[in-house]
A and B are shown apart, each in its own frame.
Chain A
Amino acid sequence: MMRFILPLVLFLILAVFLFKGLGRDTREVPSPLIGKAAPAFSLPTLQEPAKQFSPKEMLGRVWLLNVWASWCEACKDEHPVLMQFSSEKVLPIVGVDYKDKREDGIDTLKKAGNPYDQVISDADGKVGFDYGVYGVPETYVIDKTGIIRFKQIGPVTPENLRDKLMPLIAELQAK
């Protein structure tokens, strides 16, 4: 008898999860990091493991930190937008190749083009942890003093680039 009720029980458990999932906003999540200094780190760059990158290098400039990975499908969606944006040379874009094999990351950029001024390899997801990465891709706007000003969860689209990121960047650069 039990086994005939089992499907129903399993489904109801699933329904509870789906209900909890409804409240979650997969794009913009208020991050406790906004308005705080970008966590420091020092990690090897993707192409040259011997070279290290640290956010300190970017002080004095407004820059974008974009978290991506070769295994991330939504990043492929975002990629042409970033390519277009980087060709406009508005500000430096630093990529973080998150929890990814080095070869795969390099291969992806070689194939699809590289919109980044620098790419960091974060194979263990350490930076991702410090920055509270929820899901790849994510994009952070960091100001001249190294403070995180904005966080975008999910792909950057031409619309939110135009409506949100660009005005904010212009404002921060003018300071």
Chain B
Amino acid sequence: MIPELGHFSLIIALFMAMSLGVLPILGAARNSRVLMGVARPLAYGQFVFIALAFGVLAHAFLSNDFSVLYVAQHSNSQLPGQYRFAAIWGGHEGSLLLWALLLSVWAASVATFSRHLPEEMVARVLGVMGLIEAGFLLFMLLTSNPFTRLLPAAADGADLNPLLQDPGLVIHPPMLYMGYVGFSVAYAFAISALLGGKLDATWARWSRPWTTVAWVFMTIGIALGSGWAYYELGWGGWWFWDPVENASFMPWLLGTALIHSLAVTEKRGAFKSWTVLLAIGAFSLSLLGTFLVRSGVLTSVHSFASDPKRGIFILGFLVVVIGASLLLFAWRAPKVGLGGKFDMLSRESLLLSNNVLLSVASASVFIGTLYPLFMDALGYGKLSVGAPYFQAVFVPLMVPMVFMMGLGPLARWKKMAVPDLASRVKWGFASALVIALLLPFLMGKFLSQESSKWSPLVALGLLMSFWIIASLIISLKQRLSGEGDLAQRLRRQSLSYYGMQLAHLGVAVFIIGVTLVKGYETERDVRMNVGDTIVAGGYEFRFNGVTQVPGPNYVAGEGSVTVHRDGHLVADLHPEKRVYNVSGMPLTEASIQPGLFRDLYVSLGEPIPESEGAWAVRIYIKPFVDWIWAGCLMMALGGVLSISDRRYRIHQKATARASAEPVVSNLQGQAS
């Protein structure tokens, strides 16, 4: 009976979402306060009913109700409680429900935090979000109902995929989906601005904090996924250019461009149509990601069971949503006009170049991901594109981007003389260059490498990082120069300034991590007898054998490896090789001792046949690898800081007036 209530709630939510998608937008067009007034109650209503359905599915999982097909497929009575809960989004149907729930959370938040916005804007934004929600609910009810019964009920469930039985599953998908879905808010703002025909700086101002919040979630979500892959797959890598990873990376890149573009539109009134297009693009890529993962057009580690019927539905939905918004764009954008003018060298031009580079990067990931599909459709056979393509394309795009990232915050709006900018940064650049050239020599020594090698790629990576850091110091010095108390001057800077700098510093930290782990990691794959020791990177690893340990729903061979340095015990590691009871699937669980400057990473390979307890053991020393995720966290934190800025807390009447003067520009390229 209870699962049917969930099903029923979804149907009610669908009708509410459809009404939300039609009535308020109609109301805004006819200027009817009554019709616009239903937007908020309907947004809350759909949230309540979807949350109810989600609660019902959670109940089915926690109470082991194997008469629900989805539960029987993705859970098992032996499955530990927290994974039984997280298993809700461990498969296609449930993850769609999570998606729908989070979309309704965003809509309800917009309804709550939009008291200062004009009524017709709120009506349109919520209306657009209602239409999207209706599409997803319809998809779920027609092709992917999570409440479908299995009669007679299964005695026990088929169990959750062992790869997913990890704390990562509990937190990574909700974070990532919050990001994906969050871009719908920026999209809805852009569409309602196009609908209303008022594409001025105001809509940029309103949608900025929402976009940043979505971007923060997405950043954290991607970082979590990467960290999960690092310790779970046992291969020691942190990014695999898998189609599904790419599906989240593309909207992230475009979302990053969007954040910067919105800043220009708000402050200078420029890039207006470009910003709108980015907002449409970021969310379209989120939707496309959903399509790629669920339609079975690409094979991936993450793919859900594919079903062409579902594919047709999502594709149809995609065509309607993206096609309609691009049509609206083609119709309305030419009337927008150009914004404030700027010179060849100015903060605007630097931001625009960065925008273009980020979009091209996103497009190149897109092409690489869909290349097999294109080739197949054109009859050239089935191919796949691996990491080499992405690395070859991505790095050359990121180098100029990072260079301009350093210049951007230092340049003035509108106009900047080249010699002026050059004289400001020359010392910063020179010192970054010197550090980048010399540091690799010391690095080898510091990391106790057998040989300290100098490689151009390491130097380039360090140059990029230290260039960002140097430009940050220059910017701070510029801002803080003057009379008076230093603490007071520090306080005078806005939180959004600190947020921006922290996020940029995060990029520097990220690049340091990527560069050093790539340049200086030590890998040993050795056959070890019980009691064997090997020395790698100044550490002595001792293998103490493997013992059988029962887990809640698996049996593990648990290895013991002790690590000494200069006679002191540094780490006691316990890598595991698990075999899950229900599926019989083997899984490697690496054991890692994280550190500020290096991770000690040990995983078990295979037992050596006809030996006395010997195993193939994989030992990695990964210098600075945690800086990769620390960098992502700093980017996210930077986003949080910048939305905590005072101007978002005080809702001034001023938000309604455009902050940039409508100057017609003679620059043609910016709006294309």
The interface of chain A, by Cβ under 8 A from chain B, is 1, 3-5, 7-8, 11-12, 14-15, 17-27, 69, 71-74, 76-77, 80-81, 83-84, 87, 110-113, 134-136, 154, 158
Contact = CB atoms under 8 A, between A and B. Distances in A.
Contacts of A1: 334
B297 A72 contact: no
Given A17-B377, A22-B312, A134-B381, A83 B299 contact: no
B242 A73 contact: yes
Nearest to B333: A4
Interface string B349-372: 000000000000000000000101
Interface residues of B, number: 60
A156 B323 CA distance: 38
A23 B322 contact: no
Nearest to B609: A87
B330 A17 contact: no
B577 to A, nearest CB: 9
Contacts of B376: 20-21, 24
Contact of A71 (B298, B300, B334, B388): B388
B606 A83 contact: yes
A15 B319 contact: yes
Given A12-B323, A158-B583, A136 B315 contact: no
Contacts of A69: 386
Given A77-B301, A113-B616, A26 B330 contact: no
A21 B585 contact: no
Interface in B273-296: 273, 277, 280-281, 284, 291, 295-296
B336 to A, nearest CB: 9
B283 to A, nearest CB: 13
B605 A113 contact: yes
B297 A21 contact: yes
B322 A18 contact: no
Contact of B235 (A11, A25, A74, A76): A76
Given A20-B377, A73-B386, 7 more contacts: A4-B330, A7-B277, A18-B295, A24-B373, A24-B377, A112-B235, A154-B299
A76 B291 CA distance: 24
B296 A158 contact: no
B327 to A, nearest CB: 6
B334 A26 contact: no
Contacts of B299: 26-27, 74, 135, 154
A81 B311 CA distance: 29
Interface of B: 233, 235, 240-242, 273, 277, 280-281, 284, 291, 295-301, 306, 308, 311-312, 315, 318-319, 322-323, 326-327, 329-330, 333-334, 370, 372-374, 376-377, 381-384, 386-388, 523, 525, 583-588, 605-606, 609, 616, 618, 672
Contacts of B301: 73-74, 76-77
Nearest to A76: B235
B525 A111 contact: yes
14 contacts: A7-B281, A8-B323, A15-B318, A15-B319, A15-B323, A20-B377, A22-B295, A24-B373, A73-B240, A74-B300, A80-B588, A87-B606, A87-B609, A154-B299
Contacts of A12: 319, 323
A112 B588 CA distance: 11
A18 B315 contact: yes
B308 A4 contact: no
Given A4-B334, A26-B297, A136-B384, A18 B373 contact: yes
**The 7 nearest A-B residue pairs measured at CB:** A71-B386, A134-B382, A8-B326, A21-B297, A20-B377, A113-B606, A5-B330
Nearest to B284: A11
Nearest to B373: A21
B127 to A, nearest CB: 22
